[in-house]
Amino acid sequence: MAIQGIGGGGFGLGGGGNSGNPGGTPPGGNTGGPTGPSGGGNTGGSAILNALNNSVSVGELSANDISNDATPIIPAGAYDYGSGKVYTAFTVEDVVEGNTQRVTRGLWSGNVGELTTFFTSSFQSTTQKGYYYEIYNGDPTDSTKEAQFSIAYGHYAGSGSLGTNEDSPSNAIYSQFQQVLLPASQTTFTFGDVKQDDVYVISINRARIKDKLDPGNWELVLSGSTGETLRLVDNSGDTNQLGNSNKNVYNVVSGSLLNGVHSETEVFGAVYPQFGIIVLGAAGLDASASLGTIRTTNTDAQNHGKLFTAISGAAFEDSANGFQARSEEEVKSTFFFVRAKNAEYNFSNNPSYVTGSNGKLNQQTFVGDPKSYITTVGLYNNDNELLAIAKLSKPLLKSFSNEILIKVKLDF
């Protein structure tokens, strides 16, 4: 049995309704509890015994009523028709808005918290690689591997790439991220009061970051050409995952997840958690990680490849130097309290539950004492359209002698 139908208007039990009309009550009425509605004298006594001891149809009960000119007292479940109830509407007390919870998990595919394997994509064209490299967590020809983030290099005047000014990829990259990330009045990136003519950009794949990059819970390690190792984190101070979620940007400084911020004196860049973007000043990386940025005009320097080498090289030298990060999302919950009273949902609308053209119960032991099992709760809207399904961990027995309360938690 399953409870069918909650959402906007009501619920119902799947696997436990019967073939009667939705929302209706059977002849004789089983909503009156185990004895049903009373009426009309004692001449229906033989009908009671007959109903209890034998499977009788509604037609037979009606004929007996006419011949005796009386309305018999029919025990709940004594007839082979069922309650007929398919949906139950929620009341205000049945729906409770839950809290919003902050959930963090590993940023990379499979909720992995550290990425130690880096592959560029062979599917990118030469033109595309002039603008950015797309980084995978394995060989891109393997269908199980996915894009994790992209690396790009931007220069305000277009240096370091083919073309000049607006015609060059580096200028296009710088202008694009400046327009997306900076206020309208600011045309250049500035880190620690130092204007940046050129920057490196790490843009995390949207499918990875959920709502946003978790501030204070990422670490990027760069290996320089002369053996330096530079560890970068943000200055959110979110060691207990309690950073200000309303803040849109943090400074990127030297430090580690293990030991915290090393120094806030030198600012290497900025991180924009809502966008999942890290922007690093090229001059600072050249000085502290010997990146060797080439700024020659009209030259395809492929500077973003240098940053890729610094990231992948650090992890290659030591697996503890991978790109660590977590994603963050807010999960909102609503609780639905599904109540099946003793006289409700004791029959099943499964065709195997009844037999014959009159719809008699297939199991004669169910006459007078029907039973069903609740397995599923369905959430419906006012148009009886199924919106969500909740599965119980095990079937619950439902009969006239017990009632059931099921708490459904809907996260979104």
Q: What is the DSSP string of 249-308?
A: -EEEEEEETTTEEEESSS--EEEETTTTEEEEEHHHHHHHH-------TT----HHHHHH
- The helix, strand and coil proportions of the chain, stated in percent and rounded to the nearest 5, come to 20, 35, 45
Alpha-carbon distance 331 to 102, whole Å?
6
How many domains is the chain built from? Answer: 2
Beta strand 277-281 with 386-399: parallel, antiparallel or unpaired?
Answer: unpaired
134 in any annotated domain: yes
Residues 142 and 269 placed together within one structural domain of the fold = yes
Residues 119 and 97 placed together within one structural domain of the fold = no
> pTM for the whole thing?
0.65
Residues 92 and 151 placed together within one structural domain of the fold = no
At a CB cut-off of 8 Å and minimum separation 6, what does 144 contact? 138
297 in any annotated domain: yes
Domain final residue pick, 324, 353, 381? 324
Other Cβ atoms less than 10 A from the Cβ of 371: the count is: 19
* Segment 329-376, tens digit of pLDDT: 888 888 999 998 888 888 877 777 778 777 777 777 777 778 888 999
96 in any annotated domain: yes
Residues 95 and 174 placed together within one structural domain of the fold = no
Beta strand 2-4 with 371-380: parallel, antiparallel or unpaired?
Answer: parallel
Residues 144 and 264 placed together within one structural domain of the fold = yes
Residues 367 and 218 placed together within one structural domain of the fold = no
Residues 287 and 378 placed together within one structural domain of the fold = no
- Strand, helix or coil at 155? strand
253 in any annotated domain: yes
Residues 361 and 282 placed together within one structural domain of the fold = no
pLDDT in 10s for each residue of the chain, 412 residues: 444 444 445 555 555 444 333 333 333 333 333 333 333 444 444 544 454 555 556 566 666 666 765 544 444 444 444 445 678 888 888 998 877 888 899 999 999 999 999 999 989 999 999 999 999 999 999 999 999 999 999 999 999 999 877 889 999 999 999 999 999 999 999 999 999 999 999 999 999 998 899 999 999 999 987 778 999 999 987 544 454 455 789 999 999 999 989 988 899 999 999 999 999 999 999 999 999 999 999 999 999 999 999 999 999 999 899 999 999 988 888 899 999 888 888 887 777 777 877 777 777 777 777 888 899 999 998 888 999 999 999 999 988 889 999 999 888 7
Domain final residue pick, 324, 344, 374? 324
56 in any annotated domain: no
Alpha-carbon distance 181 to 112, whole Å?
27
Residues 235 and 278 placed together within one structural domain of the fold = yes
Alpha-carbon distance 105 to 114, whole Å?
11
Beta strand 147-155 with 198-204: parallel, antiparallel or unpaired?
Answer: antiparallel
Alpha-carbon distance 189 to 198, whole Å?
8
Query: Tokens in use for 412?
Result: 């979104």
122 in any annotated domain: yes
52 in any annotated domain: no
Tell me the residue range of the domain where 347 lies: 1-26+86-101+335-412
Domain final residue pick, 324, 352, 378? 324
At a CB cut-off of 8 Å and minimum separation 6, what does 114 contact? 106, 108, 322, 323, 324
* Segment 241-284, tens digit of pLDDT: 454 455 789 999 999 999 989 988 899 999 999 999 999 999 99
User: Residues 6, 377: contact at Cβ < 8 Å?
Assistant: yes
Host H or E run for residue 172: helix 169-181
Other Cβ atoms less than 10 A from the Cβ of 367: the count is: 20
Residues 388 and 272 placed together within one structural domain of the fold = no
309 in any annotated domain: yes
Residues 203 and 304 placed together within one structural domain of the fold = yes
Residues 262 and 384 placed together within one structural domain of the fold = no
